[in-house]
């Protein structure tokens, strides 16, 4: 694999924008930006987007409906914001509005530089969608700090966006040609689809222990050494995916039968043969799961045999 090529999850997150957080409470500056036709606005219906001509649609402020303003930041000396509207107030046919998952491939294939802005917008839209009332007193919440704070109108307690840490891991055993990776199948997935295991970190738990616990609970495999691989924002609805590589200390598989329907070890030879035949389908091109598998496999998953 070329050292110059970014892994899939890194390519989608490589163009971070300047979030200019100090401007979130500068109302005069925000008003000026929303009067500037050069400002780019992403309209979000609840927590959905409306692609136009196969791309995420950014409009000028005068083309955007009224809604909750979210300052995203600056990219290439251009201010980007989102406006969150109620679905019943969104322009166009409701069927045109789709969840973020339906847009990720468009971003990866066409405009990966927009991905951090879009994930920022949808992450906050999901938070606004899910946080309707004050968890302390049940009071009404109002948006502050350009969409990055919700404040209770009764007890004045502020609420801030939450991110749930989730671990995703490539577990391996063996060496050389005999090295194998552990992949599992969720019972809800279409036939032939496999992926790395994943799960949420629990309170009072380290990320490394979350990796060990999730693998043990889901497939009965014990894991020893765990090393960090990378991370990816994943607002589906509100996660940060933290990737790890783990070495198994046992190989016998005992699936939980609840979430995981089947799991097995794949050597690189088995993995490639099954990919070429169509027996095996793995996530490609956008997720950190793709990156974990591709890094282990040693070459991109979009070449001959994976088309």
How would residue 108 be classed by pLDDT, with cut points 50, 70 and 90? confident
> Residue 229 — left, alpha, or beta (φ > 0 → left; ψ -120 to 50 → alpha)?
alpha
Model-level pTM? 0.90
**Which pLDDT belongs to residue 24?**
98
Phi-psi region of 221 (alpha: psi -120 to 50; beta: other; left: phi over 0): beta
- Over its C-alpha atoms, the chain yields an Rg (Å, rounded) of 22
What are the E-state strand segments in the chain? 40-45, 58-59, 68-75, 78-85, 141-144, 149-152, 158-159, 164-173, 180-186, 197-200, 223-234, 239-248, 260-267
Q: Dump pLDDT digits (tens) for 138-196.
A: 999 999 999 999 999 999 999 999 999 999 999 999 999 999 999 999 988 998 999 99
Q: What is the pLDDT of residues 223-270, one digit of tens each?
A: 999 999 999 999 989 999 999 999 999 999 999 888 899 999 999 999
Among the ranges given (11-15, 70-74, 162-166, 293-297), the one the predictor scored with the smallest mean pLDDT: 11-15
The residue whose two tokens read 């060496």 is 175
Cα 259 to chain centroid distance, Å, stands at 20
Maximal CA-CA distance, the chain: 64
């Amino acid at each position: 694999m070329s050292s110059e090529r970014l892994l899939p999850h890194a390519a989608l997150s490589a163009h971070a924008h300047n979030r200019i957080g100090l401007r979130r409470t500068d109302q005069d500056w925000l008003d000026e930006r929303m009067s500037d036709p050069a400002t780019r606005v992403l309209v979000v219906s609840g927590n959905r987007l409306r692609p136009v001509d196969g791309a995420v649609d950014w409009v000028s402020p005068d083309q955007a409906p009224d809604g909750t303003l979210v300052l995203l930041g600056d990219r290439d000396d251009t201010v980007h914001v989102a406006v969150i509207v109620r679905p019943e107030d969104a322009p166009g046919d409701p069927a045109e509005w789709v969840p973020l998952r339906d847009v990720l491939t468009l971003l990866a294939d066409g405009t990966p530089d927009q991905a951090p802005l879009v994930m920022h917008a949808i992450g906050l839209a999901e938070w606004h969608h899910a946080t309707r009332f004050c968890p302390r007193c049940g009071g009404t919440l109002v948006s502050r700090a350009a969409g990055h704070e919700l404040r209770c109108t009764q007890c004045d307690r502020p609420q801030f966006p939450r991110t749930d840490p989730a671990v995703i891991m490539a577990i391996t055993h063996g060496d050389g040609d005999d090295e194998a990776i552990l992949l599992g199948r969720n019972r809800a997935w279409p036939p032939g689809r496999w992926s790395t295991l994943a799960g949420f970190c629990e309170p009072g738990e380290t990320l490394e222990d979350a990796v060990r616990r999730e693998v043990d609970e889901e497939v009965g495999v014990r894991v020893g050494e765990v090393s960090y691989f990378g991370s990816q924002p994943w607002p589906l609805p509100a996660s940060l995916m933290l990737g790890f590589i783990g070495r198994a200390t046992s190989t016998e598989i005992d699936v939980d039968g609840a979430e995981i329907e089947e799991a097995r070890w794949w050597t690189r030879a088995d993995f490639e043969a099954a990919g070429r035949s169509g027996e095996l389908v793995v996530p490609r091109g956008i997720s950190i799961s793709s990156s974990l598998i591709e890094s282990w496999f040693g070459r991109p998953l979009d070449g001959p045999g994976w088309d």
